[in-house]
Chain A
Amino acid sequence: MCRNCGKCIETCPVQALSMKHAQVVWNMDICIDCDACIKTCEYLASPKIMYMSVEELVDRIKKERFFIRGITVSGGECMRQASFLKSLFIEVKKMGLSCLIDTNGYYDFEEYRELLALCDGVMLDVKGVDEAFHKQITGCDNRVVLKNLAFLLAQGKLEEVRTVILPNREEENLKTLEYVSTRIQNKSRYKLIKYRKFGVRQEGIEAFGDTTISDMEMQKYKSICEGNGNHSCVII
């Protein structure tokens, strides 16, 4: 989270950030989404945030309700705001819209049964199945992620799973997508996301390079998933 150190204010090229009452304030209207602020931040935070109550957010959604079928809450990590989500979903459901959660899977959904009952599905990141590899790329343990995969499947709440396919990491790529596709089969969409250098931090570029993966390779991975019965596999 932002600690209001204000370093990003200096690097913003369009003065979309300013300090008011000791807090960094973001002006969405003039921001050009160059992400200079995010690159500047020493705490891996974003100043592109605003505080809204459930009522304010519901009003905002109401304006767009004719154009959408539902909402997806994302982040950061939206599960950090689980109780807010519960109040939000109750209101959004009243409008006849669906609610999806987009998460990194670090929060154990068995402990959020009420929220899960209100939501229509969860979009889950599975970055790696190999424990050591996951630890290496994220610094975190993947046991809860895999537990969530099984639990959400059993509850019929798995909307989609996403895995970033990394260049020159065939072994890890294969291990992850074999694991995921054999489990989800046709019960959920599986998105294979091509690694791209955009938005990747320096450490990431050093580890995985600034290349991407050929379409042919991606197709090969996709056919493996299809071979495991996962026909709703898409390349992004």
Chain B
Amino acid sequence: MSSVKEIISDPTLTYSQQVLALARLAENNDDFLPLEPAFEQALKDETLCDLGEGRAPYRPRYILPDYRILMEKGSAFLGLHAPKDIWEATNALLIMYKHVPSITSFPVYLGNFTDLFEPFDVDEQETKKALGLFLLHIDKTLTDSFVHANIGPRDARVNRIILDLTKEMQLAIPNLTLLYDPQVTSDAFAKACIDCMLATSKPSFANDVMYRKDDMGEYGIASCYNALKIGGGGYTLPRMRLYNVAAQAKDIQDFMEHVLPSYTQLLLRNMDMRIRYIVEESNFFTTNFLVQEGFVKRENFTGMFGVVGLAECCNYLLGIHDPQQGFGHNKKAEALGIRIMEALQMMIKNHHGVYCEGYKNTYVLHAQVGIDSDGRENSPGARIPIGTEPNLYEHITFESKFHTYFVSGIGDIFKFDDTWNHTPDALLDIIKGACSSGMRYFTGYNADNDVVRVTGYLVKKSEIEKLDRQQVSMNNVTVFGQGARNTAHALDRRIYDESARK
């Protein structure tokens, strides 16, 4: 069957999913962006991966508009004046969201709701009604779980309204993150977030203290857990499958001295080329209203260097066959992991990135969460593999050692049983401990939830079951959840319950 025919006859695709799939097909059939033969070979042997960015990228992968400009000035292109009340504010944002491009064609960043809505929260009941409709509208039209909003770090009544609605509505979209600073975020607000997180797998906690120390300036959390500049974003996110790269090496020395540097330089050169193409060939940075009206600035974008499979890479190079004795449980694997990350970080720092002045002309490391086709050979980023998780505090302290390297995002998911519902204080202690251990991003959910976090994004288990029955699911991401469940056992992360002492 032709690829076009396959898309138009697939019973599990909605109409808008078909349109997107057809557009992607066209985009990926073009071969305008030149690729080095070595890069094409690397794509084939799965050492490197372009994460579906194809050969004709016509927008940055992730865009984080500064929506405060819309609130202050409106938009000439959209014909919107500055909103005066909660109805105008939510309406203006919903209009603008539909004009923010991304790799998924849905906006991956919706702004900081605390800052955007607090000035308009005059009457509690009216705010609740407006935001309830706003969230429903998002779930039904921005049908993609990489759509992501932020709240915090400070508390405001509008936060509590959003948490109440989130808990009540049980929707997978949007993804939600609390920018958490224990000095600014009250314990009461943090506990309300925990209560909501256990019930509906969001919000997650981003370590605001750590992200501010990176000196990135104002940042937002977009897509899965990608930390990028507000008014900027990420041009591209290709990634290295470290396990597959390790398999090309004779031994550790060969890996460190030849194989890793050669693949790293190959990927960096591809990023340069791709970014030049987006900036110089596509019309985004010359004609898009986001640029023309100052919602984003070109210099606030950078390239993201993605990594998966650090655990399996270390285990392979050390000849460890039992993952229970490997990365996460083993000093040698830990030391090798640090050595690899130091080397990667150094090579990326020494590379002069193109069109990323706001990032001091460097690209940033990103612990990619994996894609459904990765299977179990490459765990997300620097995570301990599923099924080999140590006890909760060891899990957190071990992984935190790797979080420092990934300034554009890394995190892990912790699955809890229902006894934690009664002890939000205990979970808050753990999140505070995770933050002071150097963990950038902590997220959790209750094992019994319908809305669950797969590797970084949210899906409904009931929606995956629809796909299993060959029915459609409105959320574009449900299919990734289905794949990750089937091939990577992504929903089987250890449940932290009473046996967690081990």
Binding site for B on A (CB under 8 A): 28-29, 33, 63-64, 66-69
Which residues from B are CB-within-8-Å of A64? Answer: 393, 433
Contact, CB under 8 Å: A67 / B429: yes
Q: Contacts of B434 on A, CB cut-off 8 Å? A: 67
Q: What would be 12 A-B contacts, judged by CB atoms less than 8 Å apart?
A: A29-B502, A33-B499, A63-B397, A66-B393, A66-B432, A66-B433, A66-B436, A67-B393, A67-B396, A67-B429, A67-B433, A69-B429
6 closest pairs, A vs B, by CB? A67-B433, A66-B433, A64-B393, A67-B393, A66-B436, A67-B430
State in angstroms the CA–CA spacing of A123 and B159 once bound together. Answer: 36
- Which residue of B430, B433, B436, B502 is within 8 Å of A28 (Cβ)? B502
Task: For B431, give the chain A residue with the smallest CB separation.
Answer: A67
Compute how far the CA of A145 lies from the CA of B392 in the bound complex, rounded to whole angstroms.
Answer: 36
Cross-chain contact B429 with A68 (CB below 8 angstroms): yes
Q: Which residues of A contact B394 (CB under 8 A)?
A: 63
Chain A residues with CB under 8 A of B437: 66
Residues of chain B lying within 8 A (CB to CB) of residue A67: 392-393, 396, 429-430, 432-434
Find out whether the CB atom of B393 lies under 8 angstroms from the CB atom of A63. yes
Q: Does B498 contact A (CB under 8 A)?
A: yes
Which residue of chain B lies nearest to A65 when distances are taken between CB atoms in the complex?
B433
Inter-chain pairs besides A29-B502, A67-B429, 20 sampled, C-beta below 8 Å: A33-B498, A33-B499, A63-B393, A63-B394, A63-B397, A64-B393, A64-B433, A66-B397, A66-B432, A66-B433, A66-B436, A66-B437, A67-B392, A67-B393, A67-B430, A67-B432, A67-B434, A68-B429, A68-B433, A69-B429
A29, closest chain B residue (CB): B502
Minimum distance in angstroms from A9 CB to a CB of chain B: 20
User: What's the least CB distance linking A16 to chain B, in Å?
Assistant: 11
**Cα–Cα distance between A29 and B502 once the two chains are bound (Å):** 6
Interface residues of B in 472-502 (CB under 8 A from A): 498-499, 502
Counting contact residues on chain B (CB < 8 A from A), the size range is: 10 to 19
Q: Which of B368-421 contact A (CB under 8 A)?
A: 392-394, 396-397
Minimum CB–CB distance for A35 against chain B, Å:
12
Chain B residues near A69 (CB, 8 Å)? 429
- Near A by CB (< 8 A), chain B positions 427-456 give 429-430, 432-434, 436-437
Cα-based distance from A63 to B433 in the complex (angstroms): 11
With a cutoff of 8 Å between Cβ atoms, the chain A residues found around residue B430 in the complex are 67
Q: Which chain A positions have C-beta within 8 A of B396?
A: 67
- State the CA gap A68–B434 with chains docked (Å): 11
Q: What chain B residues lie within 8 Å of A66 (beta carbons)?
A: 393, 397, 432-433, 436-437
Chain B residues, CB < 8 A from A33: 498-499
Of listed A29, A63, A67, A68, residue having the most chain B CB within 10 A: A67
Whole-angstrom distance from the CB of B90 to the nearest CB of chain A? 39
Quote the shortest CB–CB distance from A42 to chain B (angstroms): 26
Q: Report the Cα distance A5→B433, complex, angstroms.
A: 43
Closest to A66 in B: B433
Query: What residue in chain A is nearest B498 (Cβ atoms)?
Result: A33
Bound Cα distance from A64 to B392, whole angstroms: 10
Bits for B233-246, please: 1 = Cβ < 8 Å to A, else 0. 00000000000000
Tell me the complex Cα distance, A63–B27, Å: 52
Give CA–CA (A29, B346) in the complex, Å: 39
Determine the distance from Cα of A120 to Cα of B432 in the docked complex, in whole angstroms.
22
Q: Give the CA-CA distance A218 to B228 in the complex, in Å.
A: 51
Q: Give Cα A63 to B393, complex, Å.
A: 8
What is the bound-complex CA distance between A66 and B430, given in angstroms?
Answer: 8
Residues of chain A within 8 A of B433, CB atoms compared: 64, 66-68
Q: What residues on A are CB-neighbors of B502 within 8 Å?
A: 28-29
CA distance A64 to B429 in the complex (A): 11
Chain A CB within 10 Å, residue with most, of B392, B393, B436: B393
| Residues B172-212 near A (CB distance < 8 A) | none
User: How far, in angstroms, from A33 to B499 measured CA to CA in the complex?
Assistant: 8
Residues from chain B with a CB closer than 8 A to the CB of A29 are 502
In whole angstroms, how far apart are the Cα atoms of A29 and B498 in the complex?
14
- With a cutoff of 8 Å between Cβ atoms, the chain A residues found around residue B397 in the complex are 63, 66
Once bound together, how far apart are the Cα atoms of A64 and B436, in whole Å? 12
**Cα-based distance from A28 to B501 in the complex (angstroms):** 10
Please report the C-alpha to C-alpha distance between residue A103 and residue B393 in the assembled complex, in whole angstroms: 27
- Chain A nearest CB, measured from B322 CB (Å): 14
Q: How far is the CB of B399 from chain A (nearest CB, A)?
A: 14
Interchain CA distance A140-B33 in the complex, whole Å:
84
**Please, which residue of chain B has its CB at the minimum distance from the CB of A63?**
B393
> Closest chain A residue to B391 by CB distance?
A64
**Chain B residues whose C-beta falls within 8 Å of the C-beta of A28 in the assembled complex:** 502
A156 CB → nearest B CB, Å: 22
Determine the residue in chain B with the shortest Cβ distance to A236. B422
